[in-house]
Structure 1
Amino acid sequence: MVITFKKLEELSRKIFAAIGSNADEARDISRLLVRANLTGHDSHGVIRISQYIEFWRKGDVIPNQTASINFENDAIAVFNGNRGFGQTIGHQVIDVGIQKARKFGVSIVSVGNVGHLGRIGDWSEKAADAGQASLHFVNTSGASTIVAPFGGTEGRYATNPISIGMPKNDGDSLIFDAATSKLAEGKVKVALNKGSKLPPDTLLDSSGTPTRNPAALYTEPRGALMPMGEYKGSGLAIMTDLLAGAIGGGGCHAPGVTALSNGMLSFLVDPGVFADRDFVDSETQKFTDWVRQTVPADLNYPVQLPGDPERKSETELRKHGITLDDSTWHQILSTAEDLGVTP
């Protein structure tokens, strides 16, 4: 079915309000989930609503939480997310990082014990909108043991995404956001709901054999996603877990933990600290123009920069609506009905 983003936001808002989220939180969670769909990342969109409500039922996330500070100085802040929703806590943490980087040129902020932080590119975009470059490493401390290290057949950590943002003075910031596995877990869930096969050589079944069946990731014994770029993606995932979990303070991935808890370590930089800001802006524009001018392998598909596909998708879907598969839509309606919410 096709639904307008405004209607989808409103239904999502009602669902989160029904579990006790205040007006700001219900709006923010809904806006960011729907925006993931708008930008072409259904894996981090409204398909997560039912999952988030299940986290709430288990007590893994608590509405209306405020992050508390474990340590702070002029340029650093270490937060405990107190099991709050990631969309709420993420704003609080990155706001502090932006303020510190604005005053001191650079900042490092981290958070652990927080619910799913959503599409990590949101936090790079938030920093870029404030005129700052940023780098974000994210791990999961226990649940979602679904990615095998290179050469292995069993899951040892989560998809451990990395996001990098670079502001541009024309407003089209560069936003890189990618899982360190060949597929984000949510993309497997989307394929499952659609009844689609996965691309080849992305998922292993429980015996370690490559499979295109997305159900292999959700049935016991579980399969495991393969790392992107073989040893390169595996190395990035391991270092991301250590940066976000050990240095960030939220804990590395470990067996026996059933609750999903994200950790994030973020670096924010005022681009004018190391070089004159005019120089930075000029170099950024010249370099990105140079990259765009590459002769494409397919003339129908010009070379794009990080963030271009998302901007194009959002422009189109805001006009024409978001397409949801029947399974995802019925899951949302069922969740709403259970909470006494009328679509």
Structure 2
Amino acid sequence: MGEFNFMRRLFYAVIFGASLAASSLVIGAPVLAQDASHQEILDRDREVSVAVGRSGEILTNFLGDPRFTSPANPAALAATVEAETAALTAARTELLQISEALSGLPPLAGSGRSADIDRRNQHRENIAAIVIVMAGIFDHFLSMPALAEAGDEAGVRAAYRSAMVAGSMQQTMQAAGLRGQAATLPYADADNAKLIAMACLSEGLAALQNGILAVASHDRTIQALSDAETCIHENIERGRSYVAAAPDAFSEIHTGYYVALADGASWVTDVKLAFSRNMPSGQIASTYNPPYNAVADRLQQLVVRERELIAGEYGLE
């Protein structure tokens, strides 16, 4: 069951990805909406961000528990799930409620007339879908006791693997959401380049997950990591050129993003080389999890700083 510890590490990256998606809603100078007020937009951004934060907290509460992530064997894992059935069921129910609440929020006024509003409305729907995927992870866990009782050890392993695949799907959805946001902005825009670079970093993580889980072939995984690496570099250079051509109050923040994303690209490069050399998954985790977390932390810090700058520039609280 040694793969459990590695997959736990990957899940932490999944949680970060979802948080970054919500935060990116308020990255960059907002396009003035025709109907919704700035305060309404900020309130909606906060609603989505709180929902994502709580969803990640729910998942972390279980994936940070070694009983779930480092069990002695499939039977021990199934026994833990059975003992915690009520808590797992409650977590699944809360995630479904969060998704339902997000889906039930009325669209911001200005739909169809403001790209900024349309971007937020669509992203709310994307996050609601991601939270459904999170709930599905608990479905897989909850199926384990019955499988173990039937003596189906392979079934327990398969259920755990399905939970991990759900995490990989979430990264893919995250990348699609970021690309969708970028598509609503002018191509020759620093925020457009930044969002696409972030999407490529998510795609690199998804490629690694799929490779570890054997969802994709070895060669396909290497190619996907190479594509992510190239994409990040190209968009960093594109974004830097826009910042240099038209500096503004956000230039320093943008530059910080590009520096952090360049380190993210280096991480993808290193992981690609490790995977191509058939490095064991546990060794990949112990070697490359710390630098990834460092990039994630820097990006999150930049999100906070940029929110503060936006609030100051546009009089938002």
Q: Normalization by structure 2: what TM-score?
A: 0.29
**Per residue, is there more helix in 1 or in 2?**
2
Q: Normalization by structure 1: what TM-score?
A: 0.27
Higher RCO structure (Cα 8 Å, ≥6 apart): 1
